[in-house]
Chains A and B, each alone.
Chain A
């Protein structure tokens, strides 16, 4: 099923939670809504379910306007952050509930419950009560309950945030595998950018009640359309230096070789893994080394500017605090942003700022 949200605006009193948001999720596609808390992502889900009435805007399932349809008639599957499993029912009764509500014949309902429970790996827990389940098991039961009625669209509201870190990665992969198998149109809400990147076909970065970037995870990472998206996606965070202010010298040094006009009004962004250590013409002072496992996160200072660099562990282990080493920014990975608008600026081979490319990413915004 194809999901369309058109011109969604939601206001709580005088405060706009969502402002004119448009989003299309294709059949079988998984779109992750990611953004800081309060950005409007849960409100958007609430609108799709029908619990939140918009000031304006429509939601269409396969082109059919369902904006005024009651939540119980929309055929949505939903997994709540805290699972919202019915505490007084057994696991079997929980999973069967949507089928009971749809007045599905009892025998067929039981068969469907057994099937989905087997698929979700909770077939041996059907007689249990929710309080006898672990967090991961509850999560699977919630997913089974959402999927048993073969929903038209699956909405997942921070479904992993209550799980332990190692379980989170495991369940994330399981959800993705299942979603691909069932070709389920899915909206996945999370505040964790890494989770969004890992699971989604496309990631919608939200800020202040609107989508500010909507594209594939790899494009979002390598060519983010805006400064906000660049800073929100990726950990450790991207280095950003402005051509005015204390980072002026360093910013000019990074930008000058790229831009013919000198780069006034631009911000330079370089992800930590694209700062190479050992060669280069920038002399940097090591201020701190943090072992992260496979890599070291090394903090440098060049004059008043600080630089974060991700270096291989064997190299990072040799660096000492106070040591001065040469570093370099990989030219092809330098991202430039307009300081005034926050939008990314593309540079052509001749070193001129390109406008058409910005239009393209803008088109991506509208989705």
Chain B
């Protein structure tokens, strides 16, 4: 790769650009953190940007306090997200492999259509889903929500997995065949280990999608105890007569950030290094 050298002005411009983008992405986040970690008395107008003291009271309050939402909604979101991630990973692996290895022009066309539809706002899917789920008895069930999540994540997952499989040389599969391995062994020992970074990416994206999902569970899960934190936190916005309960809302959001950041911290290197095929083919 050629190294591009910037002039001093160019570098300054680039640094400013990066700083602006960072600020754009991080400031709302920092604001949430700032609100969540300050005593409730400081969360009223006129508000200071940097709190004069820091406390975990709000976090404690949202998880265990009398007006908190408790651990349940987080557990629900995790269960929905993980289940959806699992289904998405399996379905995407199968579909992606078929797309990458078999000559399926019609399949590719269909996928493009599904992929395009899956980029529509999820709100546009809610009414049809609601009707479908009411008719089929899935309304209000966790299976229904998980299916809806997985159905939303799988098109992109198949697309990504097809790309991941295409990076694995067909020759490695042929080598495995010649070495005497049948389909199952070839998959288990050669193809899937090499596709693992891609599978992790797909599963991670599906999990985060499910974890953050709001409108689908809002409509599809009427029961309080089955709702994920995204829906449960709404009560801090709707409490009549109190306005918006900023400290608990921010604290609840802060808690929701923890698993997302943890997943990224753990998988970061694998996510970046998708592929890992060094040495298979002489470079």
User: Which A residues contact B (CB, under 8 angstroms)?
Assistant: 49, 51, 70-78, 80, 82-88, 97-98, 100-102, 129-133, 135, 138, 145, 149, 162
Contact = CB atoms under 8 A, between A and B. Distances in A.
Contact of A85 (B174, B194, B280): B280
Given A71-B177, A101-B185, A84 B169 contact: yes
Contact of A72 (B177, B190, B277): B177
Interface string B171-185: 110111111111001
A130 B185 CA distance: 20
Given A131-B279, A162-B282, A86 B178 contact: no
Contact of B172 (A71, A84, A133): A84
B178 A138 contact: no
Contacts of B181: 72, 97, 101
A49 B170 CA distance: 15
B281 interface: yes
B218 to A, nearest CB: 43
A138 B278 contact: no
B279 A87 contact: yes
A331 B97 CA distance: 64
A72 B189 contact: no
Given A87-B280, A97-B189, A131-B278, A82 B182 contact: no
A101 B282 contact: no
A43 B151 CA distance: 42
A86 to B, nearest CB: 6
Interface string B196-221: 00000000000000000000000000
Contacts of A88: 193-194, 276
Looking at A70, A72, A98, A102, which has the most chain B CB atoms within 10 Å of its CB? A72
Interface residue tally of chain B, by bracket? Answer: 20 to 34
A129 B277 CA distance: 11
Interface in B266-283: 276-282
Nearest to A75: B180
A86 B172 contact: yes
B179 A85 contact: no
B41 to A, nearest CB: 57
A186 to B, nearest CB: 15
A145 B277 contact: no
Please give me the 4 A-B residue pairs with the lowest Cβ-Cβ distance, nearest first.
Answer: A130-B279, A131-B279, A101-B180, A131-B278
B174 A84 contact: yes
A132 B279 CA distance: 8
A84 to B, nearest CB: 4
Contacts of A73: 180
B105 to A, nearest CB: 16
Given A84-B280, A129-B279, A78 B178 contact: yes
Contacts of A129: 279
Contacts of A78: 175, 178
A145 B179 contact: yes
Given A88-B193, A88-B276, A76 B178 contact: yes
A127 B86 CA distance: 34
Interface of B: 169, 171-172, 174-182, 185, 189-190, 193-194, 276-282
A87 B277 contact: yes
A88 B175 CA distance: 14
Given A83-B281, A98-B179, A130-B280, 10 more contacts: A70-B182, A72-B182, A73-B180, A75-B180, A82-B171, A82-B281, A88-B194, A98-B180, A100-B185, A102-B180
Looking at A74, A86, A162, which has the most chain B CB atoms within 10 Å of its CB? A86
A112 to B, nearest CB: 14
A138 B279 contact: yes
A74 B179 CA distance: 9
A51 B171 CA distance: 11
Given A80-B171, A86-B172, A88-B194, A149 B180 contact: yes
Contacts of A101: 176, 179-182, 185
A86 B175 contact: yes
Contacts of B171: 80, 82, 84
Contact of A51 (B174, B176, B278, B279): B174
Contacts of B180: 72-73, 75, 98, 101-102, 149
Contacts of A74: 178
A84 B281 CA distance: 6
A97 B194 contact: no
Given A80-B175, A86-B172, A88-B193, A138 B282 contact: yes
Nearest to A97: B179
B178 A71 contact: yes
Contacts of A86: 172, 175-176, 189-190, 280
A37 B171 CA distance: 19
Contacts of B174: 49, 51, 71, 80, 84
Contacts of B278: 87, 130-131
Contacts of B175: 78, 80, 84, 86
Contacts of B279: 85, 87, 129-133, 138
B282 A97 contact: no
Nearest to B180: A101
Nearest to B278: A131
Contact of B282 (A76, A83, A98): A83
Contacts of B172: 84, 86-87
B66 to A, nearest CB: 53
B189 to A, nearest CB: 7
A101 B175 CA distance: 12
A6 to B, nearest CB: 22
28 contacts: A51-B177, A70-B177, A72-B178, A72-B179, A72-B180, A72-B181, A73-B180, A74-B178, A80-B171, A80-B174, A80-B175, A82-B171, A82-B280, A83-B281, A84-B172, A84-B280, A85-B279, A86-B172, A86-B175, A87-B279, A98-B179, A100-B185, A100-B189, A101-B185, A130-B278, A131-B279, A138-B282, A145-B179
